[in-house]
Amino acid sequence: MPNISQGITPHLWFEKEVKQAAEFYCSLFPHSEISNVTVLHDTPSDTPSGDTDIVTFTLAGQPFMAISAGPLFKFNPSISFMVNFDPSRDPKARENLDKAWEKLSKEGKELMPLQEYPFSKRFGWIEDKYGLSWQLILTDPEGEERPFIIPALMFAGEKAGGAESAIDFYLSVFKQTKKGFVSRHPKGMEFDKEGTIQFADLMLEGTWFAVMDSGYPHGFDFNESVSFIVNCEDQKSIDYYWEKLSAVPESEQCGWLKDKFGVSWQITPTAMDEMLANGTRAQIDRVTQAFLPMKKIIIADLEKAYESGE
């Protein structure tokens, strides 16, 4: 049985401003903080120094990790983050939603205006100054409770109609799962096929995800700018998830893979996170050079590199 810890963690790819971005996001929501900053030397990242900054932080209790690794990948709305402002949990939910929207709007780009919609009294979709997309919603206090922040996957353009297959696939791969709400596109929509997923959510290893289909020709698709870290306790778990999820061999690198829908995952041992967070400068450098040539991560080889020379 695969052994997962800490759920599934969203991972964000920035060109160079990861520390500033993390500080900005932590200013948006209460109970948010940066917990660790690690610098990896001599990486193949497309940065002037060749160094990569890794920042671990939480937003309203939701763990995130982010890196600065050059301009290879750019955020787009195919993966966004829904923020649920629930009046039953926060008497100032609407006020706090508007405050967050105001901060995100500075140098940002409005994708759907902040206003009332059939599905919510107040909703808006915005791209912040770093290009990351957020959906702010005033939730129905009578509905089933959901986490404050939920990653949302949009199957757009040629991939529209794939959301239901993705739901079924992810529920079959992960072990601690739950299928949530499902609504479907009605007949007569201009771009969306009747019966495809208008909105649905599911829980994987304690982390809720939203999924939706959009047949509108948006012109964007999933890429590595947002990936999801599966925190594995042992090699058996790494092997399991690697075999189940990896579908694009040329995308396999440093524990990263792409599944058959194009979504990127990082199958990562918790031991590596501990080494990078707590090791000496020499240990971090040795572990970095050990995992850079790897596709699937081999824990024993990391431990050997970590301990050698000490």
Domain ranges, ordered by start, for the chain:
4-74+223-307, 79-214
State the fold for domain 79-214: 3.30.720
At 291 the pLDDT is 87
pLDDT digits (tens, 9 = 90+) for 183-202: 998 888 777 888 999 999 99
Q: For the residues 26-33, what does the mean pLDDT come to?
A: 96
What is the CATH number assigned to the segment(s) 4-74+223-307?
3.10.180.10
pLDDT of 45 above 80: no
3-class SS letters over 214-259: ECCCCCCCCCCCEEEEEEECCHHHHHHHHHHHCCCHHHCECCEEEC
How high does pLDDT run on average in the chain?
Answer: 91
At 16 the pLDDT is 87
pLDDT of 1 above 60: no
pLDDT range class, residue 7, cuts 50, 70, 90: confident
pLDDT digits (tens, 9 = 90+) for 279-293: 888 998 898 888 889
pLDDT of 29 above 80: yes
At 216 the pLDDT is 82
In this structure, of 39-43, 113-117, 258-262, the range with the lowest mean pLDDT score is: 39-43
pLDDT digits (tens, 9 = 90+) for 64-123: 999 998 889 999 999 999 999 999 999 999 999 999 999 999 999 999 999 999 999 999
pLDDT range class, residue 20, cuts 50, 70, 90: very high
Q: For the residues 36-43, what does the mean pLDDT come to?
A: 81
Distance CA 129, CA 20 (A): 11
pLDDT range class, residue 3, cuts 50, 70, 90: low
At 310 the pLDDT is 53
pLDDT of 235 above 90: yes
In this structure, of 79-93, 163-177, 178-192, 229-243, the range with the lowest mean pLDDT score is: 178-192
pLDDT range class, residue 6, cuts 50, 70, 90: low
At 24 the pLDDT is 97
